Structure 1
Amino acid sequence: MLATVLAGISLFGCGIQAGALFMFHMGVLPTYKKVDIPTWMRIHVSMDRSIERFMPFLNLTTGVATLALLFMSDSAESVVLRIAGLCCNIALALLSELVNVPINKKVKKAYEAVAAPVGAAGGVSVAMDDSELAGHRAYWARANSWRTTVICVGFALYVIAAFV
């Protein structure tokens, strides 16, 4: 019974992450790439505030449930598949924390500098030009594509593990 609940948590958490990142990749990212830099910054900062509240929690919950399942699995195949899926969750966390989060912070600082009233303290030191921000946007988009790929693969592995 506990293994079934943990498998459900693992599938649910990873499924939400994979679905959210896939939808973002297919639906939002093309728009991100087309809009001007100030518009992109405003949308990016606004969305990041919402997303950063639940994605790390989902990834951690999925990882913990999967880790516990490794000690309860019925077959060697499901253990191997879950280990591979867990590696995908770890890859998602690493890509997020090492690439996307630092860029998100830079974009937020630049956005706040642009949005700050004239003469506000600290605004000038963090301002970036559009070409630098465009470079950050392109790098962020590439990393996000990799994040989407690894978590979708992880979800597929978890689904297969549930049926072997």
Structure 2
Amino acid sequence: MSSNKAKACYTYEAALEAAVKMENDGFRSYLEAMRKLKNKQARLVLKDAALDELEHKHALERALVEGTIEGEHAMERPVPTMNLDYVLHQKELSPDADARQALAFAIHLEKHAIDFYQKMMQGCEGAPMAKLFEKLLNDETRHLQELEDMYERHFMAEN
């Protein structure tokens, strides 16, 4: 049944509702993790990521009201990423997690959003909705690249 669901294309409104739910789930994951972390820098990493999710959610909700993504803010092309989620194995955070672990957690959550939008885009291939999901996917790749760049700057050996 889930394979049929992945291949289904949504109406514009249903697609936006699904995206709002996914963004809200990401926001809630960040919020829950922030509440249990003791390390201030780790909380700050997640705070910035949570605020990005909130911005996405609000843009999608505005699109439900206005009938279009505001100013077509989403990007036209995907941004290449390093795929650090395959190297970093931080999927849950303990209260003692540091900023590196929080960043790895955020990278995994962004990768989840990318996977979601890729599946939605593929399910709507050839339909007008595919373009919306492509733009949302491209915007998520930008967020993932920003997180990976931060990880590289602060935590990779050559730096």
**Aligning the two structures, in what range does the TM-score lie when normalised by the shorter sequence?**
0.3 to 0.5
**TM-score of the two chains, using structure 2 as the length reference:** 0.36
Please tell me whether Structure 1 or Structure 2 has the larger radius of gyration of its CA atoms: 1
Higher relative contact order, chain-length normalized (CA < 8 Å, sep 6+): 1
**TM-score of the two chains, using structure 1 as the length reference:** 0.35
